[in-house]
Structure 1
Amino acid sequence: MPDVRSALTIAGTDPSGGAGIQADLKTFQEREVYGMSVITSLVAQNTTGVQAIHHIPVAFLEQQLTSIFSDIVPAAVKTGMIASEEMMRCIAAFLAESKITYVMDPVMYAKSGHALMGEDSREALKTYLVPLASLVTPNIPEAEELTGIQIYDEASIKTAAKMIVREYGAKAVLMKGGHMEGTSAADWLYDGENFASYTADRFQTRHTHGTGCTYSAAITAELAKGKSLQEAVKIGKAFVTDSIRYSLQLGKGNGPTNHWGHRLKSIPVQEEQHNGIY
């Protein structure tokens, strides 16, 4: 039998299929890992926005996690939307005990701008989950919320990255620069010692629903397969860039990315290492 690696996503749903649990499972499948899911919130949303949210009772969240960890223990875990402090404490207990590779996508807003997490929960995120994370993957607005730093250039990106690792306790952080201006999209990985940048072409399109979920899920899948953090980020960057370039042009709003875009033509990613502590 082959050595099948599994990955678990803990997140909210997206019935339109572009983000959340649905996007994560599609990505796991495309990256050839066995995908599993634990649902935190049921979200009525589509490409135009979020219409309603129903949060799963914490007791049932715990039952879902118990079902997974008592049977098929994942090689890597990622989290997305986690709405409450109680949920975070519950998830943190399983992660702390298992010591599994953990990628945290700090989902705070839907692509439409709808808040998916309250201010109290954002503070709890830093307290309970960031210190357990092998990697945190914030976009610029999320990193600003986490750190209180206004991010507008490379220097401020690096300052925020160092805070998330050195002060909040994450092992590494990937600062996603998609909200910055420019003809290319650059992301910065900081592992506590060195920075590395990953740059790919930027495509002008409104069809970017679920890019953060897809990117972090691709990284999680590669880590589950035993890739190094740097390799996993480079593969994830190429995967999400392909999914944006070959988007499906669906929906009346911010349409979903294409999870099989990587099969069409891979986009080159430029990787640069920046040695030394900044």
Structure 2
Amino acid sequence: MIVMSIAGVDPSGGAGVFADLKTFQAIGVYGTGVVTALTAQNPYKFFSTQPVSPEYISEQIDSVMDSYEVEFIKTGMLYSPEIIKLVAEKIREYDLKAVVDPVMVATSGGDLTKEDIADAFNKYLLPESILTTPNVSEAEKLTGLKINTKEDAIKASEKIACNSLITGGHLDGINTINIDGDITIKKQELIETDNLHGTGCNLSAAITAYRAKNNDLHTSIMKALDYVYEGIKNGNYGTLIAKL
């Protein structure tokens, strides 16, 4: 089983394409990686972003698809509306099934994207995707709704243009899953830790990997939430609290 990450590069290895490839391998699928941008960052500080041109991103995707049979992909930092539109076009061209982590801000606080990114997600990419995994802040940007309660999260999930998992790190551990209008709430205990880096990447990558291994979407989400939680509890990588 071969999957693809389309995301930025984090040189510290905790997020982005590098983190996705580690997760793919841990779950037992072969990962390919398309780079949308270079970043200078670490778990605690964001320095800068250097985007890759849409034309070269397109060539990277085509080069992978020329040799491999890929069905499931995940997206992370896409940087600009132009890149988001390109990825949506490639999803249609190759009939890909995409899990979208709508990354807008680095865990360390740096703005990773251009303005109007939420509008581009809603217009181009989410309608072409099987799932999106926003945290509360990202869900608020996608929907224009303020999320303070479980009920708010449910309302926001109903406004998002595809199936969604609104992660609960900023909502008392309440993860809100909406698949085809069916709502599931999975509450997880929050773990106190200072390591906040990369868990959103790991979650969306894990969902993609489990889906590629013939689990249905709901099962893939539940397994991925448990996978990330166990990693946090055992100190393997960043915390579910802040990134999710």
TM-score calculated relative to the size of structure 1: 0.83
Q: 120, 125, 128: which is aligned to 1:129?
A: 125
Q: Give the letter for the 1:200 counterpart.
A: Q
Q: Deviations over 1:221-246 (max 9, x none)?
A: 01111101111011100111011112
Q: Which of 32, 36, 61 is matched with 1:36 structurally?
A: 32
User: CA–CA distance in 1 between the matches of 2:171 and 2:194?
Assistant: 15
SS of corresponding position for 1:40: strand
- 1:114 aligns to what? 110
Question: Could you tell me how far apart the structure 1 residues matched to 2:226 and 2:179 are?
Answer: 20
Which residue pairs with 2:53 in the alignment?
A: 57
Task: Report Cα offsets for 1:40-98 as digits up to 9, x if no partner.
Answer: 00011101221121111111111101101121131310000001111112111110122
Shift of 1:108: 0.6
Q: What is the root-mean-square deviation of aligned Cα atoms in Å?
A: 1.3
Match of 1:215 in 2: 203
Residue pairs, 1:1-278, within 5 angstroms: 5-164=1-160, 168=161, 170=162, 172-181=163-172, 185-248=173-236, 256-257=237-238
Query: Alignment partner of 1:209: what SS?
Result: coil
- Counterpart of 2:242 in structure 1 is none
Secondary structure in 2 matching 1:247: coil
Q: One-letter code of the match for 2:228?
A: V
Sequence identity percentage = 36
Q: Is the 8 A contact 1:162 1:192 kept in 2?
A: no
Could you give the per-residue CA deviations for residues 136-188 of structure 1, whole angstroms, max 9, x where no partner exists?
10000000011110000011001000000xxx3x1x1011011123xxx2211
Q: Deviations over 1:113-148 (max 9, x none)?
A: 211122222211111101011001000000001111
2:167 counterpart letter in structure 1: K
Cα separation, 2, equivalents of 1:36 and 1:96: 19
Give how far 1:189 is off.
0.9
Gaps of 5+ in 2: 240-244
Letter in 1 for 2:199: T
- SS for the counterpart of 2:180 is coil
Whole-Å Cα distance in 1 between the matches of residues 196 and 235 of structure 2? 8
Task: Say if 1:139 and 1:177, in contact at 8 Å, map to a contact too.
Answer: yes
* Secondary structure at 1:52 match in 2: strand
Question: Residue in 2 aligned with 1:268?
Answer: none
Q: Distance in 2 between matches of 1:247 and 1:13?
A: 22
The separation in 2 between residues aligned to 1:52 and 1:157, in whole angstroms, is 32
- Tell me, yes or no, if the aligned pair for 2:15 and 2:199 is still in contact at 8 Å: yes
1:11-45, CA deviations, whole angstroms, 9 ceiling, x for partnerless residues? 00111111111110000000000000000000111
Conservation of the 8 A alpha-carbon contact between 1:208 and 1:244: no
SS at match of 1:12: strand
Contact kept in structure 2, 1:101 and 1:223, CA below 8 Å: no
Q: Helix, strand or coil for the counterpart of 1:151?
A: coil
Unmatched runs of 5 consecutive residues or more in structure 1: 249-255, 259-278
The structure with the largest alpha-carbon Rg is 1
- AA aligned opposite 1:221: A
Output the amino acid matched with 2:187.
T
Residues in 2 aligned to 1:102 and 1:140: alpha-carbon distance in whole angstroms:
20
Other structure's SS at 1:43 match: strand
